[in-house]
Amino acid sequence: MTIDTAQEAAPPVSKFSVRTVLHNAGIGLALLALIIFFSVFTEHFLTPNNITNILTQITINLILAVGMTFVILIGGIDLSVGSVMAFAAVVAGKAITLPGFGPAEAIALAIVAATLTGVLCGVLNGAISAYWALPSFIITLGMLNIARGAALQVSNAQTIYSFPYAFEEFGSAMIYGVPVVFLVALVLVFIAWFVLNFTVFGRLIYGIGNNAEAVRLAGHSVYRYKIAAFTICGLTAGIAAIVYMARLNISSPIAGIGFELNAIAAVIIGGTSLSGGRGSVIGTLLGAFIIGVLANGLILIGLSDFMRQMITGVVIIVAVILDYYRAKYAST
Amino acid sequence: MAAPLAAVASAAPDMPFLSVLGLKKYFGGVKALDGVSFSLEEGEVHALVGENGAGKSTLIKILSGVFPHDAGDVSLAGEPYRPSSPHEAKGHGVQVVHQEFNLLDHLTIAENISIEQMPKTRFGLLDRTEMNRRARRALDAIGLTDINVAQPVSSLGIAHRQLVEIVRALQSKSRILILDEPTATLTERETKRLFDIVAGIKADGVTVVFVSHHLDEVFAICDRVTVFRNGKTIATDLIAETTPEGVVQRMVGRRLAAELDAQQAHTPGKSALRIDNLVTQANSGETGVSLDLKAGEIVGIAGLVGAGRTEILRGIFGIDPIRNGKLYRDGREIRFRGPKDAIAAGIGFVTEDRKDEGLILDMPIAANMSLASLKAVSKSGLLQLASETRRARDGGAKLKLKYGKTSDAVSSLSGGNQQKVVLAKWLARQPKVLLLDEPTRGVDVGAKAEIYAILKDLARDGVALLVVSSEMPELMTLADRILVLAEHQIQGELQRPDFSEENILKLAYGQTPEAAGETQ
């Protein structure tokens, strides 16, 4: 065993701990290797246009993965985010197309509608699984179906379109080639990073993931923090819905199918432990990039989308195997 | 892989059965073992003693194949011995009963006992009848006749689980059986039972390695004792030729501070916590338990495992719902809906199981210490990390905590120091009432004395302490008076002059109270 692995026994809480830094550096190196690989073997990978493309493509997954990080850190999982996103988009689509509002009011209404819908679904997920101490895997699987059904019901299975022009503009706006919606996602990453590392709330999220009983006996309401984690996840699904609407200028009730799995993959590739208590949202950011760069680069290199999917699967499995070794060396 | 037992040549007569020479083990830059040498004779009971962190557990893990050593020689029966996995160590006949529980909670007792070698029928199916019969025979052999082998392990108390674990290790033929602090969770009665088991396997020619913090146990059943200090072996002595005091001196390398002046005069203050006929959901008693704990007083609760001692503490702290009875804090009646309310009322609870209930092992020392007082180290929800670190350093200094940095994970500390972190977590709140459940379980002699001194200081400062313990000497050292529990009822109360193990035991076994001390 080398000195490096021994130092991995350092705690996971502070972002500045040796272990977290080393660990994120490892994922960062993997990402860098991918970028170099694709830059060498394809012509168009490292062009401004393609970089803009990648940033646009990973935005929604990154937003969903930020919320998912909270849920996975407390040892839960949320399978409903893709459906909830579609549901929130449809509700917001109905709101934004209500007659009698100016563009500004309509957009504000849509934002409120989408976030409230997401939050509501998140609260339900959290409250039900926390109150009856049921596995969130099952509860959110139920919510996956409920939200999808609700989206289809509310929209009558029709795609909603013709949104205000300003909304569309926000979806395609760029600052120096960086999509504004990606900046929104980055701000969310920053907020999550701050909350997880510098607030009592974040401390207890890690604590609950490690040992919920010890946290409860220290006088904290584990129940409340669990609900909060799922609520945050629902909220990010609502925000993702707005970004999705602004980018495509439609609300489709069949949007977001399978998005939950990509979000979970980003969190896991980013090194957050599925059993909770260990990980970081910076890792999630890198994980989302790895998935996005792989998807983009493999297609540029000429592989089929099916091959891309297979390779993404391999990366997820490798990430979990690496996590196994990290946990093993941390405990000896 | 594992060599069959018969294939290993038996040791030459002048050679020790197991010999360990100059063993070293490093974790990164940390020396866990720094020159360990000792030997085992066939059929002896050999004690390993030393403070927590002295290297006993590391040695055991090397011998049982959990991880390899970095330098030194180990030979078993004359052959070089370097197991690469616990499975291989078992193949050589080296069995370990670990401190941590390795039982499968949801399987039955019988399934757990047979887990390494499930009996099969002619058709290769699981032979449940034979499995249950084996388990029954094994439990009867150690006197646990009242336990149903078909019930899940999760229904057992912590002491019984330990015994089941020992029984499981005895299922396969072993040549060396290593017991790592087997008595830490046992009451005196079960410890006695364990000694009988050890005597039995010794008579069968098995070599037993016995790790314990209890020197009276070491002197009761061992032939030789090897003392560890700071990753080195200090000496091996014949039990017949040494004294407990001599062993302790070797362990700490200095004379222990004279035993605590136990009899300091002190007048308890007003009632800090009173319970009237408390009956919790976890307890089957009808009339419940009543006691009155005064400020500055240490009250001990003695009793056998299963007598309902922990349940009282859990009931007071609001963990188990209260079925009946009243609770008074400083004379005012109160009701707790959960630990949160109890903590707000100035109560702290040092739980029995620090790994499951007391600590967040992977998190830093500082974060664990502030877990119950996060308001004090934060401003409107934002952590003041500098102030948290400062408070952790202060808290650590007060309790003489031995640690590297406050940002180290608690899991890097020895048992005694982990327990001090649990204490520090509650002391950070300056509690008025402190409930303690087995406060020195798995803690070495040196740290034990320090913890006693801390608790006595707290009482002197007016804190009311309620201490549950299975170690009678501990209660007799600490407590101003001892309540003895049996079957969820207080059988009697002993004042200092009446303290004796005999009196406590009489009450614990439910004998006529007149025989010992006054009744309630």
pLDDT, tens digit, 9 for 90 and up, residues B81-126: 999 888 888 889 898 887 666 788 888 999 888 887 788 888 888 8
Pick from A211, A215, A278, A331 the residue to mutate for testing the B interface (most B CBs within 10 Å). Answer: A211
What integer pLDDT is reported at residue A6 of this predicted model?
35
From B327, B324, B335, B403, select the one nearest B369 (Cα to Cα): B403
Query: Per mean pLDDT, which range of B285-289, B382-386, B435-439 is the poorest?
Result: B285-289
DSSP B103-116: --TTSBHHHHHTTT
Rounded mean pLDDT, A80-84: 98
Mean pLDDT of chain A: 90
A111's CB contacts (< 8 A; 6+ apart) are A92, A242
> Residue for token digits 């007016």?
B462
* Nearest neighbour of B363 by CB, restricted to A2, A210, A330: A210
Most confident listed range (A8-12, A293-297, B203-207): A293-297
pLDDT at B52 over 70: no
Q: Does A14 touch chain B (CB under 8 A)?
A: yes
Which chain A residue shows the shortest CA-CA distance from B386? A198
Do the chains contact at A211 and B360, CB–CB below 8 Å? Answer: yes
Residue B425: closest CA among B356, B474, B376? B376
A271/A260 Cα distance (integer angstroms):
17
* Mean local confidence (pLDDT), B388-408: 92
> How does the average pLDDT of chain B come out, rounded?
84
Pairing of strands B382-383, B378-379: antiparallel
Distance from CA of B376 to the nearest CA of A (A): 11
Q: Can you tell me the mean pLDDT for A132-151?
A: 96
What pLDDT band is residue B390 in, cutting at 50, 70 and 90? Answer: very high
CB contact under 8 A, B28 and A218: no
Distance from CA of B263 to the nearest CA of A (A): 34
CB A236 within 8 Å of CB A64: yes
DSSP characters for A236-303?
HHHHHHHHHHHHHSEE-TTTTTTHHHHHHHHHHHTT--TTSS---HHHHHHHHHHHHHHHHHHHHTT-
Q: Among partner residues B67, B339, B409, which is closest to A332 by beta-carbon distance? A: B67
* Residue B416 confidence (pLDDT): 86
Strands B94-97 and B176-180 come out as parallel
The reply to whether residue A10 touches residue B408, judged by beta carbons under 8 angstroms, is yes
CB A326 within 8 A of CB A305: no
To the nearest 10 degrees (0 to 180), the angle between helices A281-300 and A48-73 is 140
- Contact criterion met (CB < 8 Å) for A217 and B319: yes
pLDDT of residue B494: 92
Residues 225-284 of A with CB under 8 A from B: 277-278
**Does the beta-carbon distance from B27 to A1 stay under 8 Å?**
yes
Question: If you ran DSSP here, which 8-state letter would residue B298 be given?
Answer: E
Q: Please check whether residue A5 touches B, CB under 8 A.
A: yes
pLDDT at B256 over 80: no
Mean pLDDT of B451-478: 91
Predicted TM-score (pTM) of the model is: 0.74
The tens digit of pLDDT for each residue in A273-309 reads 888 999 999 999 999 999 999 999 999 999 998 998 8
Greatest mean pLDDT among A221-235, B154-168, B324-338: A221-235
Burial class of B135 by CB neighbour count within 10 A (0 to 12, 13 to 18, 19+)? buried
**Angle between helical axes of B188-203 and B158-171 (0-180°, round to 10):** 10
Could B371 and A215 be called an inter-chain contact, meaning their C-beta atoms sit closer than 8 Å? yes
Higher-confidence position of B398 and A17: B398
**ipTM of this predicted complex?**
0.85
CB contact under 8 A, A215 and B382: no
**Cα(B69)–Cα(B24) distance, rounded to whole angstroms?**
6
Pairing of strands B18-27, B71-76: antiparallel
Res A18: pLDDT:
54
The average pLDDT across B362-381 equals 94
Residue A24: predicted pLDDT: 64
**How high is the pLDDT of residue A23?**
63
B66-87: average pLDDT? 89
- Assess B319–A contact: CB distance below 8 Å, yes or no: yes
Distance from A221 to chain B by nearest Cα, in Å? 8
Mean pLDDT of A125-151: 96
Q: Is the pLDDT of residue A21 over 70?
A: no
Q: Give the per-residue pLDDT at B257.
A: 41
Confidence of residue B3 (pLDDT cuts 50, 70, 90): very low
**What letters, b where the CB count within 10 A reaches 16 and e where it falls short, cover B426-448?**
bbbbebbbbbbbbbbbbbbbbbb
Which band of pLDDT confidence, cut at 50, 70 and 90, is reported for residue A2? very low
Residues near B2 by beta carbon (within 8 Å), at least 6 away in sequence: B87, B88, B90, B91, B92
pLDDT number for residue A253:
96
Taking 70 as the threshold, does the pLDDT of residue B386 lie above it?
A: yes
List of chain A residues whose C-beta atoms are within 8 Å of the C-beta of residue B427? none
Residue B348 to residue B66: CA distance in whole angstroms:
37
Q: What value does the mean pLDDT take over residues B342-371?
A: 93
Evaluate whether B322 touches B279 at the Cβ level (below 8 Å): yes
In angstroms, rounded to a whole number, what is the distance separating the alpha carbons of residues A11 and A329?
Answer: 13
Which of B360, B377, B384 to mutate to probe the A interface, most A CBs <10 Å?
Answer: B360
Asked if residues B82 and B72 have their Cβ atoms less than 8 Å apart, the reply is no
Burial B330-360 (b: 16+ CB within 10 A, else e): beeebebebbbebbebbbbbbbbbbbebbbb
- Taking CB atoms and an 8 Å limit, are A217 and B358 in contact across chains? yes
Q: How confident is the model at residue A203 (pLDDT cuts 50, 70, 90)?
A: very high
Is B317 in contact with B349 (CB distance < 8 Å)? yes
Angle between helices B445-460 and B415-427 (to 10 degrees): 10
A199: chain B residues, CB-CB within 8 Å? 378, 381-383
pLDDT class of B217 with cuts at 50, 70, 90: confident
Looking at chain B, which residue has its C-alpha nearest residue A17?
B407
Give me the total of CB pairs closer than 8 Å, taking one residue from chain A and one from chain B: 104
- The arithmetic mean of pLDDT across residues A101-109, rounded, is 92
